[in-house]
A and B are shown apart, each in its own frame.
Chain A
């Protein structure tokens, strides 16, 4: 299990290859890549800056991974989240889950993303033609995370 918060981009293929190397128990790998869109709430987005809470960020993601391990039989997991300045089409986040079968890999990967979006201390500030603005939290993200209750809380 590995959690990384970094400014640099990542190579999802290389990360998946590294994670599964030498482990023939793995029968399924689910991966999610989050990408910066060039439009949000109807406005063009020229780029964004991701701020985080160093120390708590890593702890919060590790706690989320630990919860996923309690719920599904996961063989391995990796979370990489970028911070700093990002441009449209840049990758923001990678979640990879390895399991014996696909059901657990899919479910745990979606759970990790839903919880990460509502519990890990990251904040986006986007640059638009009207100036820079902090992105507001979405109720739909809370609803997505709530689907996994009550076990998660």
Chain B
């Protein structure tokens, strides 16, 4: 499954990347699995997305949870808790 990943704010800087297109292995079907797959990259990915770290994920521009399903062509954004207003 191909998805577009976007990163914002502190996580964009920690990962050193703003956006990427990735082809996910077949077994990666939801946000929780994607997060574990990204942690497998090690380094900042493992540190920032480890259990207990505060980050948010949106799928197709809607806030998502670990069980939110992914789909072909999804736009998945990973970012820190928001601080606007």
In the complex, how many residues of chain A place their beta carbon closer than 8 angstroms to a beta carbon of chain B? 29
Q: Considering only CB atoms, which chain B residue lies closest to A50 in the complex?
A: B84
Residue in B54, B77, B83 with the greatest tally of chain A CB atoms within 10 Å: B83
Q: Are B84 and A117 in contact (CB under 8 A)?
A: yes
Q: How many B residues touch the partner, as a band?
A: 10 to 19
Tell me, in angstroms, the Cα distance from A34 to B10 when the chains sit together.
23
**Chain A stretch 113-129: residues in CB contact (< 8 A) with chain B:** 113, 116-125
Interface residue ranges of A50-66 to B (CB < 8 Å): 50-53, 55-56, 59-60
Interface residues in chain A, defined as those with a beta carbon under 8 Å from any beta carbon in chain B: 34, 50-53, 55-56, 59-60, 81, 92-93, 113, 116-125, 134-138, 141
Give chain B's interface residues, CB within 8 Å of chain A: 6, 8-10, 54, 58, 61-63, 77, 79-85
